[in-house]
Structure 1
Amino acid sequence: MTEKPAGTAIDDVLAEYSGLESQMSDPTLHDDPATARRVGKRFAELAPVMTTHTRLNIARDDLEAARELAADDPSFAAEIPELEATVARLDAALTDLLAPRDPHDGDDMVLEIKSGEGGEESALFAADLARMYLKYCERHGFAAQMLGVTESDLGGYKDATLSIKARAGSTEGVWGRMKFEGGVHRVQRVPVTESQGRIHTSAAGVLAYPEPDAVEQVAIDETDLRIDVYRSSGKGGQGVNTTDSAVRITHLPTNIVVTCQNERSQLQNKARAMQVLAARLQALAEEEADAEAAEGRAAQIRTVDRSERIRTYNFPENRITDHRIGYKSHNLDAVLDGDLDALLDALTAADRQARLEAQ
């Protein structure tokens, strides 16, 4: 008979789920919206574990009953192989769900895209990456917002900051799906600035941060901040270039600089910039507290250099290659149009396998 998964892990989940149910049935929970969001989010995260656990127990009971019946009447033995397969499948699924997970998988996220080696062509590619992520979010119902952009002379992006949030009520966390995007992205193509038709190689960098539910979760001393306001630039409709609504926040101890210019008012831009700053400081604190996290985060992007690539986008061959897992496909045009699912599925599967092997 198939062995049950480690009792302690599932027992802990059952106890936590029961506690969350009690909290959610308490009318006073919603007096504190932040706590209500946190409890509801965790309850939704545990729902797949509970569903799989219940189905596994039912399948085990059915299998045990079939074996008992088959002992008296061999005709019932025909059901046993299918029930054994169901138990094995659900047992494996539950083991996977109970495997160690990134605690931020259910979080929203911030993406920063920066041009690097390659000049104007790198900036144009950075803009292509930003559009790719926006199209992917549109496909999945994620709410993506461009918080700030510095454009190049040809309309590329020297840098861009995106905030990406899961749709309301969704159990799919943005970070769990898109966290693998952090790193150096290399492009091989004929730039628009190339008159001889030669293929050039350049790179852009992507920094990925999980976004805390609230700025208050991260300790930020107001005296450590320098806040500058300036006039928004670029496309943005009414109000752009007419008021000093854009905000730049510098965190003096770390020299982290965050800008936001796409909200309607200075107060809104400051609030969004503070959220991005909180995300970056949270990531920095976790790096310093955990050597493995520091190593992994540093691997995202040390310098925007072609040699430190995680992925290559080859236009002449319509090919995309992710060097971390050896993934390769010839649908670059579709990927740049937001069809990232096959690639992200492969990265998620590799990550899941690594977690299972580490148990």
Structure 2
Amino acid sequence: MATTDFDSEIRQLKATMHTIEQVLDVDGMRREIAELEEQAGSPDLWDNQENAQRVTGRLSQLNGELERFTSLVDRIDDLAVLVEMGQEENDADTLAEADADLERIKKSAEALEVRTLLNGEYDAREAIVSVRAGAGGVDAADFAEQLMRMYTRWAERNKYPVEVFDVSYAEEAGIKSAEFAIHAPYGYGTLSVEAGTHRLVRISPFDNQGRRQTSFAAVEVVPVLEQTDNIEVDENDLRVDVFRSGGPGGQSVNTTDSAVRLTHLPTGIVVSCQNEKSQLQNKASAMVVLKAKLLARKKAEEAALKKDLKGDVAASWGDQMRNYVLNPYQLVKDLRTGHESGNPSAVLDGDIDDFIEAGIRWRRGGVEQG
């Protein structure tokens, strides 16, 4: 087994952190934190609720980013001390511990380096994810459900809360569509690279002749709104339908018409929510999603950047951005970045960090072939 060149590795880590420090503008971040703390300490801060939420939200975000950076610098310094102790005492156990720490720190540094690429207008926001079955019948519905599980499992792995707004179940298996929020810092910037059409190739479990089937599902990602976003919805532009919440196989979730479907007549955007127990709560949650979609649409139109904000969601042949092949071989491949994995089961179980990282680098013009 090759001996780790700790001196070289630590020098490289410190060089990476220096670059990250410049990109993040850590000194500027500290100055802004000091200014915001002064504003936050003002006795009349909450006289203006909108400004107060902006100040406290920005302060929390900056403190989190600074803590992430400084704690990683401290971990690298601690690693250097551990290596020095192990080398002086020629202690194999200490050096093995240092080797394990080195790998963890390198992974954290890579993740922070990718985070510095998330500097778009809405990248710091949490994300609302929509998954919709495309061409492929029952296999597509089943695939859509697998993708929903993939993203929720990814969130669970990272300890990010998931809030499901609506799931429309298909008749035989799987789902027609689903809408859910992932409450993660930089959730939109991170997951927006997942937007587009996903393609599955496998032996269909729903075909009694065991034939190979190709199916599609579309993923859309929009940023969660903040109080400072100016999105007004005229009640006259809305059609509100109420219905009874339902689960797989048409099973009733409750006995009242509490689920709400909002149709925004000028744009045709339809949003449903059946997660909450009351009609009012469901309407409020549906409005959150609707406004987020209207914001994405507005900004896309203003900047003529529809593909950047929402991705290509046609969900049909020729539009796919990632292939999941389970037969005749096992491979998941992103067609934009070239990144691939020979373990589709792990990917569909939420192991998508490498795909996301490659997507972020690709989007920022720094594609790494993997």
Partner residue, 1:197: 210
Q: Displacement of 1:294 after TM fit?
A: 2.2
Quick one: which of 312, 318, 326 aligns to 2:330? 318
In the TM superposition, 1:1-359 aligns within 5 A as 16-30=32-46, 35-47=51-63, 48=65, 101-166=119-184, 172-214=185-227, 217-234=230-247, 240-291=253-304, 293-297=305-309, 299-301=311-313, 303-316=314-327, 317-354=329-366
Corresponding pairs, count: 312
TM-score, with structure 1 as normaliser: 0.76
Alpha-carbon distance between aligned partners in 2 of 1:155 and 1:115, rounded to the nearest angstrom: 11
CA RMSD of aligned residues (A): 3.6
Alpha-carbon distance between aligned partners in 2 of 1:95 and 1:160, rounded to the nearest angstrom: 32
8 A contact 2:54–2:228 mirrored in 1: no
The alignment-based identity, stated in percent, is 37
**SS of equivalent residue, structure 2 residue 180:** strand
**SS of equivalent residue, structure 2 residue 35:** helix
**1:261-286 CA-partner distances (Å, limit 9, x unpaired):** 11111011000000000000000000
Q: Displacement of 1:139 after TM fit?
A: 1.1
8 A contact 2:332–2:344 mirrored in 1: yes
Gaps spanning 5+ residues in structure 2: where? 1-14, 74-110
8 A contact 1:209–1:280 mirrored in 2: yes
Alpha-carbon distance between aligned partners in 1 of 2:324 and 2:204, rounded to the nearest angstrom: 13
8 A contact 2:331–2:342 mirrored in 1: yes
8 A contact 1:260–1:272 mirrored in 2: yes
Alpha-carbon distance between aligned partners in 2 of 1:345 and 1:271, rounded to the nearest angstrom: 34
Alpha-carbon distance between aligned partners in 2 of 1:97 and 1:204, rounded to the nearest angstrom: 28
Q: 1:329 to 1:99 in 2, by over 3 A?
A: closer
TM-score, with structure 2 as normaliser: 0.73
Alpha-carbon distance between aligned partners in 1 of 2:252 and 2:228, rounded to the nearest angstrom: 27
Q: Displacement of 1:155 after TM fit?
A: 2.5
Partner residue, 1:84: none
Alpha-carbon distance between aligned partners in 1 of 2:131 and 2:156, rounded to the nearest angstrom: 18
Gaps spanning 5+ residues in structure 1: where? 57-92, 167-171
**1:119-166 CA-partner distances (Å, limit 9, x unpaired):** 111001001101111111111121112211111122211111112213
